[in-house]
Structure 1
Amino acid sequence: METKKYTVASVLSIAGFDGSGGAGIQADTKTISALGCYAMNVLTALPVQNTQGVKSIYEIPTQAIKDQLETIFEDIYPTAIKIGMVHSTALVELIADFLKDYRGPIIFDPVMVSTSGHRLIQADTIQACIDRLFPLATLITPNLDEVAVLINEPVDSLAKMRTAGAKLLQMGCQAVLVKGGHLPGNDLSSILLRADQDIQFDTTKIETRNTHGSGCTLSSAIASYLALGEDLPTAVSNALDYVNKAIQGSQHLAIGHGSGPLNHFHNPQKLITYDMD
């Protein structure tokens, strides 16, 4: 008797490494798994870091990244993709060329500025991201430091977030989620902008140092909800709620001596399966 088979919503994270487990592909894998999807990885860089910061970054050969992509795609076609750390123009070109015919949503989290405010990639790589990855992405998810780098001016209010989002759309984005977590005050607002849509999501900031990897977590959560069939506004709303509860779940944890990780498994879901018939 033939055994019935099932498929799953698979999400590929193309991102850097975090041995301390709070950010990068580790945070992506935890998030994707916690939301009931099947997680896959392509490693783009090897940062040596912990909760207190990045000590050094080792590059992964471009050919090795291409080999990883080809090997994943020839076996498991991703339902959705999240792109994180891309640190060179050659890597941007490789990923863009490889994904130009991809059929599915792509979430691009443009990791460009460190927590301490230092740029992590050069100007030519930033321009390559704009030229090659922005048009491919279903959504980009920059924080305010990254928005400031992209539009070359500071963003310090909700009004400026909307103006900045409009400028990013003009750069070729299909949609942008401008994250307002760096604004002063107790409120946390993020704005989703598309050509015909402007949705503001509001919550209250949680007093905690444990926010390491929140951007990685959010982008991979959005990719996961899209892989599960949600539309973009719903996926963003659900992902923001997931991150908020993951931060709440880690609020009083003491993991490391710096900015600790989120509690990705505050409410883990079983792997969601679909009948292949």
Structure 2
Amino acid sequence: MVTEKILTIGGSDILSGGGIQADLATYANYNLYAFMALTSIVTVKEDNFFVNSVDTKILKDQLESLENIEVSAIKIGLLPNKQILDLTADFLKNKNAPIILDPVIVFKENNDYEVSEIRDLFIEKLLPQATVITPNLIEAEILSNHKIKNMSDMKEVAKILYSFGPKNLVIKGGNRLEQDKAIDLFYDGEEFKILEKAILIKNNYGAGCTFASSIASNIAKGVDVYDSVRNAKEFVFQAIKNSNEYGVVQNYEC
């Protein structure tokens, strides 16, 4: 029986591996009732992808439709421009729910100035509201303005990101530190915790979106933050491991 409600704000992925499609599939696995607000539609042509932002009035209308709905967690995905980021940040100020922020700020439509502008807005308006942020290494480097080459760098960047206001963070290390392991770093301002899993090559597209939405799902169900992160890493690992050639998960439940 569905008891908890959850909200996702993000972009649509036409290939259904990431974005709100991945979020909704994850929420269904956790037996959550999901609401969504669409920020963009991603299309693919001739091996190139294109991020088509929704009109700001349409997003504003979506968010106003959701103002009076109480949810147990909110997951934020792709915010493709500063106007959409501003609208989302203002909406979150009036919601009393944990916020799980996947700071997707790197895609080919952005020039260097736009990336810098979006970075500054993330730091000013979104990170201070977040319960958990889940940047990958590139996003962590951009947000902190520091390079990450090893675990020591990762920990220093975690401290910088924590100083911007999120209550907790996970830096997704992928296999940059070790080729055969996916290594993530959790930090709550007091203690570092390292999470490791073997690298799985198949069907890992959208793993970051699924990881963040799994964290959000656990938190919506009352699990504490670190256990939510640990559960989410296991969920993603098992989902990839048990997927078929189309990326559909078989014989696995959270």
Distance 1:96 1:123, change over 3 A: same
CA–CA distance in 1 between the matches of 2:129 and 2:151?
27
Q: CA deviation at 1:127?
A: 0.7
CA–CA distance in 1 between the matches of 2:137 and 2:117?
20
Work out whether residues 144 and 180 of structure 1, in 8 Å CA contact, stay in contact via their aligned partners in 2: yes
Work out whether residues 175 and 183 of structure 2, in 8 Å CA contact, stay in contact via their aligned partners in 1: no
Work out whether residues 13 and 81 of structure 1, in 8 Å CA contact, stay in contact via their aligned partners in 2: yes
Aligned residues with identical type, % of pairs: 31
Structure 2 residue runs of 5 or longer lacking an equivalent are none
Q: CA deviation at 1:120?
A: 11
Work out whether residues 43 and 49 of structure 2, in 8 Å CA contact, stay in contact via their aligned partners in 1: yes
CA–CA distance in 2 between the matches of 1:121 and 1:24?
21
Corresponding residue number in structure 2 for 1:205: 199
Whichever structure has more helix as a proportion of its residues is 2
- Secondary structure in 2 matching 1:49: strand
Distance 1:61 1:266, change over 3 A: farther
Corresponding residue number in structure 2 for 1:3: none
Corresponding residue number in structure 2 for 1:267: 252
Structure 1 residue runs of 5 or longer lacking an equivalent are 1-5, 256-260, 270-277
Corresponding residue number in structure 2 for 1:243: 236
Give the 5 Å matches for 1:33-44.
Answer: 33-44=28-39
Aligned residues: 252
One of 134, 139, 158 as aligned partner of 1:141? 134
Q: CA deviation at 1:224?
A: 0.4
Corresponding residue number in structure 2 for 1:254: 245
Larger Rg: 1
Q: CA deviation at 1:105?
A: 0.6
Distance 1:168 1:35, change over 3 A: same
Distance 1:185 1:120, change over 3 A: farther
Q: Output one character per residue of 1:80-123: Cα deviation in whole Å (capped at 9) or x when no partner.
A: 000000122221211111111311110000112249x9979521
CA–CA distance in 2 between the matches of 1:162 and 1:249?
32
Q: CA deviation at 1:153?
A: 2.8
The one-letter code matched in structure 2 to 1:83 is I
User: TM-score if structure 2 supplies the norm length?
Assistant: 0.91
Give the 5 Å matches for 1:15-26.
Answer: 15-26=10-21
RMSD: 2.3
